[in-house]
Amino acid sequence: MSENQNSQSFPEESTEQNTEEPQTSDNNDSGVVKKSFGFGFSGPLPPPSILSQNDEIVPNGAERIMQMAEQQLQHRIEMEKRLVEEDTRQGARGQNYALIVSLVAFASAVILGVTGNETAATIIAGIDIIALATVFIVGKTMALKAKDLEDPDIN
């Protein structure tokens, strides 16, 4: 997972004044000024000014919101840890199965070669070697592409 996805974003407070000059229409010359203000924030938690207002509505509301954010963070960390562990186990399982298939193919080629079926032995051994080389090359290429996607600034 990339570093940007793991990092926490902090709340940002902003006020916007959409119009600064008086707006008058041709139909209404009363000189009425229209102004609009906006407030927004981004991130998992509201800014402290709003967070403290939650205590006025719900007793201990700010503390409950903080606990909820901490629990969500712990859950996310645990799920990412499990995902990495399962990916590692799956990769190891795949390598073990590939080893078994390769050994069976190689043993079959040896047995066929010893019993006088050199053509069949050569074909099976050739297919086995080509398959292993292809998987190795494709695996390395995919790993390099994944690494480039995670951190394109390295190259």
C-alpha to C-alpha distance for 76 and 86, rounded to whole angstroms: 15
Domain that holds residue 109: 41-150
4 inside domain: no
Residue 28 placed within a domain: no
Local structure of 15: helix, strand or coil: strand
pLDDT tens across 76-91, in order?
999 999 999 999 999 8
4-61 pLDDT per residue, tens: 444 444 444 444 444 444 444 555 556 788 888 777 777 778 888 888 888 888 888 8
Residue 24 lies in a domain: no
What is the count of structural domains for the chain?
Answer: 1
Residue 109: CB atoms within 10 Å: 22
- Encoded tokens for 40: 């927004």
Query: Is 129 part of any domain?
Result: yes
Query: DSSP state, 10?
Result: P
**Tokens in use for 148?**
């480039």
Residue 61 within any structural domain of the chain: yes
Q: How many CB atoms lie within 10 A of CB 84?
A: 11
Inter-residue contact 125 to 109 (CB < 8 Å): yes
pTM for this prediction: 0.51
